[in-house]
């Protein structure tokens, strides 16, 4: 019997469909791997062993009756900010410990409808607020490439689980780079879709106008397959556009690449820049053309992003009061004391920091000075990005300005940690799709190349990724821990 751990998600589904593998056998192999590796890596907060086994048995029964889903028997790791019916969903926060959603997020429902199996909920920065997956109430996630390094955040558990082959694919969410940063640091593919292409129904909100759910995979074709399944309208998210993703690979000949000088300047590790340039030159050797350009307002993107994101977080997180779910509310105390006690004990330091800063930016006398100005700047940045994408097919940048850093290295300096997002936030502000693909290794640690495209052009991004994968075979890179 072929080892499912060496197969892509697409290949697993084919094997289960043909009867060469059973979904239950696949799940048991991955559960065994999680039991061995998760104590070292801490990629999963919750491992849904019994639910996964029951789901696998149901898939096997359905296959015998002729069911042929696109993800038959494929285990999926789901970030703990995405609602899963019957499986605890905590956002890696004490305040939601014990919360079990009564419904599945749209993306989870669609995955299950194609025969996929939720194998567990992955670790993350609390409420998706962070860039290293160190800010979790359940402890940090460690990078499979080097256990003393961070995975990136906030979807670091999903990135580590996929990189270490504890799940063939995973879902993350991306508010300012939270799919792409872990993809870069963990050496996998991470796609942030166009805003409005994938339903956010069931995604526990941090910053509604910025965030999207996206696939994280080892293989580019698996990334495309997940996009086909999770995209499209659902009737629950009013921001969705009428668009269904489809992709076929036709090569990069004639592809026009913009290379903004602002992303290749001082402040970015020279070894990262060399890796990204190698990817650009590889695409050129396959028929693409590139031109160095300018995106001048990108230098203000990080400031605008954090003002908008923190302001929206201040509003979204006001609902956590201990009355309806999560930490218990003490009715013997006056309301304002009980409310403060729940939030004071339940939220971590970074979440409190962002709520306070967001509340300040929205307060009387400061709304126009900060929040409104950030919204205006966001519109100007979007216009500059779209202007470039009228002339070019993609915009190429590093995903992060540095390789994975050591655990604890930046945790005491929030501004230094925020800099991990400096290359990724532009895509969220503009609402355009962006992908991170492995660009090579720096001192044995992965770094990523990022590409942005116009609205609903995820197909172009995946074509770029497929070309690079075919030339470099980055899907065959396996971290040392995963070889154990």
Q: Which residues are catalytic?
A: 79, 154, 178
C-alpha separations of 416 from 52, 130, 173, 430 in Å: 39, 11, 22, 24
Tokens of 44: 């999963």
Residue 151: name the closest of 397, 448, 424 by CA: 448
Alpha-helical segments (H) within 136-251: 156-163, 180-186, 220-230
CA 22 to chain centre: 29
Residue 247 CA to residue 378 CA, distance in Å, equals 30
C-alpha separations of 138 from 94, 180, 301, 412 in Å: 9, 22, 31, 18
Residue 302 CA to residue 39 CA, distance in Å, equals 35
The long-range contacts involving 270-275, CB below 8 angstroms and separated by at least 24 positions, are: 271/403, 271/442, 271/443, 271/447, 272/398, 272/400, 272/401, 272/402, 272/403, 272/439, 272/442, 272/447, 273/398, 275/439, 275/440, 275/442, 275/447, 275/449
- Which residue shows structure tokens 């966001």? 378
Tokens of 377: 């700047």
Residue 247 CA to residue 255 CA, distance in Å, equals 16
In three-state secondary structure terms, 93 is: coil
Contact call for residues 461 and 192 (beta carbons, < 8 A): no
Residue 48 CA to residue 40 CA, distance in Å, equals 18
């Amino acid at each position: 019997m072929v080892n499912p751990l060496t197969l892509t998600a697409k290949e697993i589904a084919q094997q289960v469909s043909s009867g060469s593998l059973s979904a239950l056998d696949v799940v048991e192999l991955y559960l065994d791997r999680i039991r061995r590796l998760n104590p070292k890596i801490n990629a999963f907060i919750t491992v849904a062993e019994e639910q996964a086994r029951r789901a696998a048995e149901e898939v096997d029964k359905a296959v015998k009756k002729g069911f042929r889903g696109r993800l038959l028997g494929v285990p999926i790791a789901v970030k703990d900010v995405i609602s899963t019916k019957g499986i605890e969903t905590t956002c890696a926060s004490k305040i939601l410990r014990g919360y079990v959603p009564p419904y599945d997020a749209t993306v989870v429902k669609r995955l299950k409808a194609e025969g996929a199996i939720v194998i567990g909920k992955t670790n993350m920065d609390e409420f998706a607020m962070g860039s290293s997956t160190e800010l979790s109430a359940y402890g940090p996630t460690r990078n499979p490439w080097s256990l003393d390094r961070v995975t990136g955040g906030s979807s670091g558990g999903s990135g580590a689980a996929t990189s270490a082959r504890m799940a063939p694919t995973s879902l993350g969410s991306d508010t300012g780079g939270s799919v792409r940063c872990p993809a870069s640091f963990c050496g996998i593919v991470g796609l942030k879709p166009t805003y409005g292409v994938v339903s956010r129904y069931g995604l526990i909100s941090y910053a509604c106008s910025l965030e999207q759910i996206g696939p994280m995979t080892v293989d580019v074709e698996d990334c495309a397959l997940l996009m086909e399944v999770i995209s499209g309208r659902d009737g629950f998210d009013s921001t969705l556009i009428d668009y269904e993703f489809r992709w076929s690979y036709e090569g990069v000949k004639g592809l026009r690449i913009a290379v903004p000088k602002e992303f290749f300047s001082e402040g970015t590790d020279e070894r990262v820049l060399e890796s990204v340039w190698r990817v650009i030159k590889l695409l050129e050797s396959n028929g693409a053309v590139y031109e160095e350009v300018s995106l001048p307002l990108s230098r203000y993107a990080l400031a605008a992003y954090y003002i908008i994101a923190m302001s929206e977080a201040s509003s979204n997180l006001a609902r956590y009061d201990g009355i309806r779910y999560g930490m218990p509310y003490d009715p013997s105390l006056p309301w304002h004391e009980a409310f403060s006690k729940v939030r004071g004990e339940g939220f971590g330091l970074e979440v409190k920091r962002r709520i306070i800063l967001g509340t300040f930016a929205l307060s009387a006398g400061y709304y126009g000075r900060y929040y409104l100005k950030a919204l205006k700047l966001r519109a100007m940045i979007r216009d500059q990005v779209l202007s470039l994408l009228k002339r070019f097919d993609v915009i190429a940048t590093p995903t992060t300005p540095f390789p994975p850093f050591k655990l604890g290295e930046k945790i005491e300096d929030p501004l230094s940690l925020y800099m991990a997002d400096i290359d990724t936030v532009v895509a969220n502000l503009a609402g355009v799709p962006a992908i991170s693909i492995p660009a090579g290794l720096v001192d044995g640690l992965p770094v990523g190349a990022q590409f942005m495209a116009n609205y609903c052009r995820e197909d172009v991004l995946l074509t770029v990724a497929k070309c690079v994968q075919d030339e470099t075979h980055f899907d065959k890179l396996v971290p040392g821990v995963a070889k154990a």
